[in-house]
Chain A
Amino acid sequence: MRYKDLDPDRYSSVVIPGGFSFGDYLRAGSIAASTETMEMIKEMANQGKTVLGICNGFQILTESGLLKGALLPNLKMRFISKWVYVKVVRDDTRLTKNLPKKVLRMPIAHAEGRFVLEEEEARRLMVFQYSNEKGEVSEDYNPNGSVLNIAGIANEEGNVIGLMPHPERASFSLTSIDGNVDGLLLLRGLRW
């Protein structure tokens, strides 16, 4: 739906998708974060509803203050589009609590994905870390220079979640790189 058409009372979850918003002027997600729709989404988050931000949606959540930290331009100053593995390190969030797998394969496609936050807090809030297929986390698998290889975080309560990888692009076996539907496993967490 168009962002202006959101009726928060009708929904128990909201997904802010990827793409671009308002030309990403100033910084990715910053103008979208100032819309009245985001005020409604903050209200939904406060009511305990699930709020998921994917890619630009994650940037909007950090810019609006719903999630901690910031997403800065990739260290290599390039748009990166590729399939990556992420290790799931928190199982107390809406999306990850019943997840059957601990390592997921999904694509990333972004220029501003370098997650920055003070390390101690980042360690507590992180949900997904860039890794290899065995779930080993190292700088070799960090595509954009994020602190602690962070690909996604959640708030303390676990109902507001943001991540740079695109679960919706890893939800159909025909368009997935190897037939996996790891993204769909995550998105099933929206039914609660």
Chain B
Amino acid sequence: MYSVEVIVLNKEGIRDPEGEAIKKYMVDKVTDKVKEVRAGKYVLFKIDAGSEEEAMNIAKKVADEKRLYNPIVHKVEIRVRKDEDGGH
């Protein structure tokens, strides 16, 4: 079993008011070291696949074909890891 994380963020140059608000009203009150905050969507898939590559391709197929992201405004990042216990 693999955990596949699909992370959707606005592309560079497309403003992200949620990230801006988090920065302005929360982060900046704690530190001035944080230069940018971006907020996005996180979707976790538990995938029964034979390999990391297969798990990644399944998630990518869903993301592309069902438009989990809109390519005009979003970029997508997909991360895979094998579940520790190897089971369910």
Contacts and interface: CB of A to CB of B under 8 A. Distances in A.
Interface string A49-80: 00000000000001101001110111111000
Interface in A60-119: 62-63, 65, 68-70, 72-77, 116-118
Contacts of B44: none
Contacts of B14: 72, 116
B72 interface: yes
B70 A27 contact: yes
Contacts of A69: 72
Contacts of B70: 27, 30, 62-63, 70
B29 interface: no
B21 interface: yes
Contact of B68 (A26, A74, A77, A145): A26
Interface string B17-43: 110010000000000000000000101
B67 A63 contact: yes
Contacts, number: 39
A173 interface: no
B10 A72 contact: yes
Nearest to A145: B15
A61 to B, nearest CB: 12
Contact of A73 (B17, B66, B68, B72): B17
A33 B18 CA distance: 24
Contacts of B66: 34
A70 B21 contact: no
A30 B73 contact: no
B62 to A, nearest CB: 11
A186 B56 CA distance: 47
A70 B17 contact: no
Interface in B63-78: 66-68, 70, 72-74
A6 to B, nearest CB: 20
Given A75-B17, A77-B17, A30 B67 contact: yes
9 nearest A-B residue pairs (beta carbon): A70-B73, A70-B70, A77-B17, A116-B73, A70-B72, A75-B17, A34-B66, A77-B21, A73-B17
Interface of B: 10, 14-15, 17-18, 21, 41, 43, 66-68, 70, 72-74
Given A30-B67, A70-B72, A76-B17, 17 more contacts: A26-B68, A30-B68, A63-B67, A63-B70, A70-B74, A72-B10, A72-B14, A72-B73, A74-B17, A75-B15, A75-B17, A77-B18, A77-B21, A116-B72, A116-B73, A117-B72, A145-B15
